[in-house]
Structure 1
Amino acid sequence: MLQRFILIITTIIVWHLCISGTVAKDKKVENLDKFPPNPLEVTLPDPLLPNLPDKRELTSGELQKLKTDLDGLNQEAQVMLQGEDKKKAFEIWNRELRLRRYLGILAEVEALSRVGEIAWNENEREEVQYISQRLQVIQSEMGKQKSTDLQLWQSLGNAYQKIRLPKLGISVYEQILILVKQQQDSSGEIETLKNIGELHLSWFDYPQAANTYEKLLNLAINQGDRTNELAYLQQLAYIYAQGKQPQAAIDILNKLAQIYTSQQNLMPIPALKLAIAANYESLAQENPNLKQQAFDNYQQAYTTAWQSEQYAKAAEALEKLIAFYRSQKQIDAALQTSQILMETQTLANNSYGLMSAYDQIGEIYLERREYSQALTAFEKGLAIAQQLKYQEAYFTKRIEKLKTEVKM
């Protein structure tokens, strides 16, 4: 009986072990399916490769044949993609990319960049990840070897840009910047800084973007490059505006205005003055004393716009001045400026603007309790609204309400 009992227990233990082993094996298979290896790192024999005893290098003839074969694989993958067999297309491309490394690192990086861009455009996130991992391995090896191959670094940076990895791209371009500075290559330095600036902007990192374009601006000033100086100032004005840095934006916009004024080019001045005034208005929320600076710049914007016959810009400045007068309870000044606005909108041939001006004048007369004049303004606004078939109901209601209130 004892022996039989031992046999039963032993059988049960063996059965449990078998079951556990099967479950563990199944879990391993499941994990492999869940986290497949990077296909670019899989080392498999390939019929396109000749026999390589003792891991010898390929001859020039073998390399040329391999390059031709790989170009054929690329074309085959393109055909598959056009035929909407995306899975098969990227299987072929992965095979091509595995074999491209036999042609050298530069050839491999260029191929990774090409396929990476396609993967990104096709929303193949997993494929982009595989390519990113391989690029980072290459970058790590280049760093360890302290590579000074500028073409290779540039190709790597371009590859990161193609798969939208700005932070990794910046790290590469910073290495390039060191190399071009060592070579005293000023044009290379400028081009590299531009790439860095664009990458910071793509990441919405406005402080770092500003820092980069300030460097570019200083280089342009030192080289007497007025064209690029203006371009970098305009870019900085945009960056500081996006980064909500009104004082920095004002400084840049004033520099632009000074340059255009010295060139006797009035055309850009109204837009610059409007932007300067808007930034002063933003600062005036914390420091009310700066409201006068905003007002002065709106006046300068109007004057310059009128002189250069930019009536749309002149009207924009007048609207801001009217709002300023009304906020300061200077109703007479607001009304006088509104009359000028009407003339300006007429010259600008802006019916919508003229309609809006009549609406504004009506509001100002209401503030002065001059109801008949307000009614006349709203009726003129309605006449234009009827021509435009726009906001007719709005003016009709204003007129009806005003007539009712006057009767009371």
Structure 2
Amino acid sequence: MLRRLIAIATATILFSSSLTLAQSKKPKPPDKFPPNPLEITTPDPLSPRSPKDQQPLTLQERQKLEPALDALNQEAAAKLQAGEPEAAFEIWNRELRLRRFFGSLAEVQALSRVGAIAWNQNNGEEVQYITQRLQAIQKQTQSEKKTAPIDLELWRSLGQAYQNVRSSKPAIEAYNQVLLVVRQQKDPIALVETLQTIGELHLSWFDYPKAAPIYEELLSLATSLSDRANEVIYLQRLAYIYEQTNQPQQSLNVLNKLAEIYVNDNNLTKIPQLKLAIASDYESLAKKDPKLLLEAFKNYQEAYTTAWQLQQFVPAGEALQKLIALYRSQGQTDEALQASQILVQTQAQAANFYGMMQAYDQIGQLYLERKEFPQALTAFQKGLKLAQQLKHEEAYFTEQIEKLSKTNF
């Protein structure tokens, strides 16, 4: 027994000592990421000179190196096509290192090209390497800006390269540099193109508050140039932005302008959905100003009327459903019933049997509120027939009918 206790004690001491030793000699944590292959400085057989030599290439050096790099690009593309992505990007990285000799613009354009391929191949490491290199070039270009004029083509290429690797924030920073210059140059075409790019980038990242002023400016420019096509596009973008940011008043302003354009252009097919959106905005605003409910009613009615005339039965049904909900919220049961009867016909025209079934349920509930039980029973029976055809909600309608059958009318 004593020997066993001694053995246990000895083992405990040895384990504690080894643990202490292990803790005192902690292994160094591995690098989070391997070194960026675009920063390798090992001399390359194709290098015309040392990378530290900042002098521009001579014509002879350029004529010798350029076709060699084009050949590397083609070789890498062939490797990728053959199912060897690792070998392909190894060759592309070599090409990208050598592209530095041609200056920042050529390098950024090459990084942009390979970055797009890396993103499409879901190569996260390569995308990261290229992004890091783009950031280094941007930082250098930013510092040079203080002593030299802004290189528009370089900043545009940087913006495009960042887009290709889905790096939105630095892409917007790059295009903002372009925006500064085109504003100064008073170049309307370049201004519109740059604003469009920035607006799309903000939208792609759901940054609606920053997208709104961009599209407001684009709308103002399109209006001043009588550019009707783009005016409509920007209004649609703004309507979407204000809907997403829950700004009904701003949304109304935009939607009313759109409605005016569609009416003037006799493009009535767009009106029903537009009127639905306008009515919804008035309904939201009516929570603070109840008088605006009249405008909501009016626009839902116009949405229904126009949709019916155009035989757009789906939006017609949607407008009626909104009207019914609004009537019920105001205690206008007669009007809600009348609209519900019309809704049955509308859903029948749309061959929407599920919608018809729901409409009959709604009619039944409204008659129940008025304690008009025979009419409620008839509505639920019609709903049950549709439910049986659809094999849906049969138990619900059966239950409603059974309850009414036990009622003394």
TM bucket, shorter chain? 0.7 to 0.9
Which letter does structure 2 place at the counterpart of 1:270? Answer: P
CA distance in structure 1 between the aligned counterparts of 2:153 and 2:32, rounded to whole angstroms: 38
* Partner residue in 1 for 2:8: none
1:41 pairs, out of 39, 42, 48, with 39
Query: Does 1:98 pair with 2:93?
Result: no
> Partner of 1:352 in structure 2?
354
How far apart are residue 153 of structure 1 and its match? 1.8
Give 3-state SS (helix, strand or coil) of 1:167's partner: helix
Q: Once the 2 structures are TM-superposed, how far is the Cα of residue 215 of structure 1 from its aligned partner?
A: 0.3
Partner of 1:304: 306
Q: Distance in 1 between matches of 2:338 and 2:293?
A: 20
1:253 to 255, 267, 291: 255
Deviation at 1:211, TM superposition (A): 0.3
Amino acid at match of 1:120: W
Separation (CA, whole Å) in 2 of partners of 1:66 and 1:391: 75
Distance change >3 Å, CA 61–CA 392, structure 1 → 2 = farther
**Cα shift at 1:35:** 4.9
Give the corresponding residue for 1:143: 142
Residue 176 of structure 1 and its aligned partner are, at CA, apart by 0.9
Is 1:108 matched with 2:110? no
Q: How far 1:84 sits from its partner (Å)?
A: 4.7
Q: Which residue of 1 aligns with 2:117?
A: 118
Q: Offset at 1:379?
A: 1.6
Give the % identical residues. 61
Residues 143 and 190 of structure 1, relative CA distance in 2, 3 Å threshold: same
Equivalence for 1:406: 407
CA shift in 2, pair 1:402/1:132, >3 Å: same
Q: Which moved more, 1:313-322 or 1:342-351?
A: 342-351
Q: How many residues align?
A: 383
Amino acid of the residue matched to residue 382 of structure 2? K
Alignment of 1:329-408 (within 5 A): 329-403=331-405, 405-406=406-407
8 Å contact kept, 2:316–2:346: yes
Query: Match for residue 14 of structure 2?
Result: none
Counterpart residue identity of residue 356, structure 1: Q
Tell me the distance in 1 between the aligned counterparts of 2:343 and 2:402: 26
**Per-residue deviation, 1:332:** 1.3
Q: Partners of 2:293 and 2:375 in 1: how far apart? A: 31
Specify the alignment match of 1:11 in structure 2. Answer: none
Q: CA deviation at 1:298?
A: 1.0
Deviation at 1:300, TM superposition (A): 2.0
Instruction: Give the Cα separation in 2 of the matches to 1:176 and 1:232.
Output: 21
* In structure 1, distance between residues paired with 2:383 and 2:320: 18
Report the counterpart of residue 203 of structure 1 in structure 2.
205
How far apart, in 2, do the equivalents of 1:179 and 1:109 lie?
A: 20
Superposition deviation, residue 243 in structure 1 = 1.5
Q: With the length of structure 2 as denominator, give the TM-score of the two structures.
A: 0.85
Letter in 2 for 1:292: L
Maintained 8 Å contact 2:271/2:306: yes
Among candidates 152, 157, 160, match of residue 158 of structure 1? 160
Pairwise CA RMSD: 2.7
**Partner residue, 2:76:** 77
Distance 2:51 2:271 in 1: 73
Match of 1:325 in 2: 327
Q: CA deviation at 1:127?
A: 2.4
* CA apart distance, 1:45: 0.6
Alpha-carbon distance between aligned partners in 2 of 1:60 and 1:106, rounded to the nearest angstrom:
17
The CA distance in 1 between the partners of 2:267 and 2:200, in whole Å, is: 29
Structure 1 residue runs without a partner (length 5+): 1-18
Larger CA deviation: 234-243 vs 40-49 = 40-49
Q: Which amino acid aligns with 1:394?
A: Y
- Correspondences of 1:194-273 after superposition (within 5 Å): 194-273=196-275
Match of 1:169 among 159, 171, 177: 171
For residues 349 and 49 of structure 2, the distance between their equivalents in structure 1, rounded to whole angstroms, comes to 82
The CA deviation at 1:231 is: 1.1
Write the distance in 2 (CA, Å) between the matches of 1:393 and 1:64.
82
Tell which deviates more after alignment, 70-79 or 270-279: 70-79
Shift of residue 372, structure 1, vs aligned partner: 1.9
* Offset from partner CA, 1:109-157 (integer Å, 9 cap, x none): 1111122222233333332222122112222232333343322221111
Residue identity in the other structure for 2:315: K
Question: What is the SS of the residue equivalent to 2:246?
Answer: coil
Following the alignment from structure 1 to structure 2, what is the Cα–Cα distance between the partners of residues 194 and 256? 19
Of residues 167, 177, 183, the one that matches 2:185 is: 183
Distance 2:387 2:155 in 1: 62
Structure 2 CA distance for aligned equivalents of residues 129 and 264 of structure 1: 51
One-letter amino acid of the counterpart of residue 125, structure 2: E
Question: Structure 1 length normalisation: TM-score?
Answer: 0.85
Structure 2: which amino acid aligns with 1:122? Answer: Q
1:201 partner SS: helix
Unaligned runs of 5+ in 2: 1-20
- Contact (CA 8 Å) 2:48, 2:65: kept in 1 or not? no
Evaluate the alpha carbon distance shift between residue 224 and residue 34 of structure 1 in structure 2; reply closer, same or farther with a 3 A threshold.
closer
- Could you say which residue in structure 2 is the equivalent of 1:6? none
Change (3 A) 1:45 1:54: closer
Tell me the distance in 2 between the aligned counterparts of 1:226 and 1:153: 31
* C-alpha distance in structure 1 between counterparts of 2:60 and 2:388, whole Å: 81
Please report how far the alpha carbon of residue 188 of structure 1 lies from its aligned counterpart in structure 2 after TM superposition.
0.9
**Matches of 1:362 and 1:295 in 2, distance apart?**
23
Aligned-residue offset at 1:200: 1.0
Q: CA deviation at 1:407?
A: 6.3
The answer as to whether partners of 2:219 and 2:231 remain within 8 angstroms in 1 is: yes
Structure 1 distance, partners of 2:382, 2:59, is 85
What is the CA–CA distance in structure 1 between the aligned matches of 2:209 and 2:49, rounded to whole Å?
55
Post-superposition shift, 1:46?
0.5
Deviation at 1:197, TM superposition (A): 0.3
For 1:128, the equivalent position in structure 2 comes to 127
